[in-house]
């Protein structure tokens, strides 16, 4: 039996806690061979982002085509795509699922609340990317931006918004409630079969850099291990397993002592 292979299409975070660095660590921790197509370089540490250098859309397309021409990829995770051109290029390249099921983390809004992508790129995500997405994993502000509604402020508002996002084309939606606060961190999974809540006790830690990247890449790794066609994938148990992995990584994050801001989660908690 050869290795399960996952692909991340995302930006670089030199501090290693988010972006492709976090994705490759997550793939590795979960026993999956990682491949990566870079969409952007960021200048970034645990305190913030000071610059972004975008890869031209044509070269993102070249990276994808060359990789997929040779390597069999069992699942793909999409992170920061940045521009409308890159969004459209990636959506076109993955329309026939050459890289297996697509987990799309629609990175749009920084933790600071700043928009990371233009209104045109948000439109391209809506019209081009959501229809080729098997699992969409927005946070609260991203769901609001995609739906053009005010951000949810309570857990009760998550299910109707997840349902509304499902109408835009993805096969499944995991709306993450990390930003809502409270004793538990609640995510809502919406599929054609219905709605399911996943709850974990909220970890009191400053090491929360890259939680979203880590969750979506864990989901892609677990999907790669399943090696099923998109319609056969049952996301509910994978969400449970991915959140268990993230929970342990959050609990051990501060022990790494990396950086002076919001440090990384520990991708190899219990493994080192
Ligand atoms: N303190 C915490 N304790 C437990 N789980 C958390 C905590 N913070 C976030 N989570 C979980 O982490 C995952 C990411 O959620 P969040 O809403 O923070 O996404 P995000 O905003 O996209 O993350 P990022 O800021 O890394 O992009 C979700 O499963 C959420 O429930
Ligand atoms: Mg995020």
One of 17, 79, 100, 210 is an active-site residue; which one? 210
26 included as an active-site residue: no
**Distance, CA of 272 to CA of 251 (rounded, Å):** 14
85: pLDDT strictly greater than 70: yes
156: which DSSP letter?
G
Q: CB count, 10 Å around CB of 195?
A: 16
Query: pLDDT per residue over 34-72, tens digit each?
Result: 999 999 999 999 999 999 999 999 999 999 999 999 999
Counting the structural domains of the chain, the total is 1
Q: Range of 240's domain?
A: 5-256
- Whether the CB-CB separation of 135 and 189 falls below 8 Å is answered with no
- Atom 18 of ligand 1: nearest residue by CA position: 178
Which ligand 1 atom sits nearest the alpha carbon of residue 141? 21
Calculated CA dihedral for residues 21, 138, 104, 231, nearest 10 degrees: 130
Given a cut of 70, is residue 9 above it in pLDDT? yes
pLDDT at position 229 is 56
Question: Is residue 212 annotated as a catalytic residue, yes or no?
Answer: yes
Under DSSP, the state recorded for 127 is: I
Q: Which range among 93-107, 139-153, 223-237 shows the weakest confidence by mean pLDDT?
A: 223-237
Residue 135 belongs to some domain of the structure? yes
Examine the residue annotation and report whether 208 is marked as an active-site residue of this protein: yes
229 found inside a domain = yes
Residue closest to 25 by CA, chosen among 38, 3, 8: 8
CATH number at residue 175: 3.40.1190.20
Q: Which of 141, 173, 185 to mutate to test the pocket of ligand 1 (most atoms within 8 A of CB)?
A: 185
In a domain, 266, yes or no: no
Instruction: Compute CA distances 112 → 49, 108, 141, 144, 179, whole Å.
Output: 10, 11, 11, 16, 11
pLDDT at 231 over 70: no
Closest ligand to C-alpha of residue 108 is 2
Ligand 2 centroid to 62 CA: how many Å?
A: 26
pTM over 0.95: yes
pLDDT digits (tens, 9 = 90+) for 239-249: 999 999 999 99
Query: Considering the domain boundaries, does residue 270 fall inside one?
Result: no
Radius of gyration of the chain (CA): 17
Please state the length of the chain: 272
Average pLDDT over residues 115-129: 90
């Amino acid at each position: 039996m050869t290795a399960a292979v996952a692909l991340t299409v995302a930006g670089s975070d030199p501090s290693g806690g988010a972006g492709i660095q976090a994705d490759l660590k997550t793939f590795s921790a979960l026993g999956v061979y990682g491949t990566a197509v870079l969409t952007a370089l960021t200048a970034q540490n645990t305190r913030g982002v000071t610059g972004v250098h975008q890869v031209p859309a044509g070269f993102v397309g070249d990276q994808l085509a060359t990789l997929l021409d040779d390597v069999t990829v069992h699942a793909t995770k999409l992170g920061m795509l940045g521009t409308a051109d890159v969004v459209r290029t990636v959506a076109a390249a993955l329309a026939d699922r050459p890289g297996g099921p697509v987990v799309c983390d629609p990175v749009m809004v920084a933790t600071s609340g700043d928009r990371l992508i233009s209104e045109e790129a948000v439109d391209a995500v809506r019209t081009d990317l959501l229809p080729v997405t098997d699992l969409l994993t927005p946070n609260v502000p991203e769901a609001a931006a995609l739906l053009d509604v005010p951000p949810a402020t309570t857990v009760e508002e998550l299910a109707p918004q997840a349902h509304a996002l499902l109408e835009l084309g993805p096969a499944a939606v995991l709306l993450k409630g990390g930003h809502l606060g409270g004793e538990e961190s609640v995510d809502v999974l919406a599929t054609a079969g219905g709605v399911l809540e996943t709850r974990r006790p909220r970890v009191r830690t400053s090491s929360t850099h890259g939680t979203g990247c880590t969750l979506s890449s864990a989901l892609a790794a677990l999907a790669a291990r399943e090696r099923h066609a998109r319609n056969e994938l049952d996301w509910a148990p994978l969400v449970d397993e991915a959140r268990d992995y993230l929970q342990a990584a959050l609990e051990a994050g501060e022990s790494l002592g990396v950086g002076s801001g919001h440090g990384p989660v520990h991708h190899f908690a219990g493994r080192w």
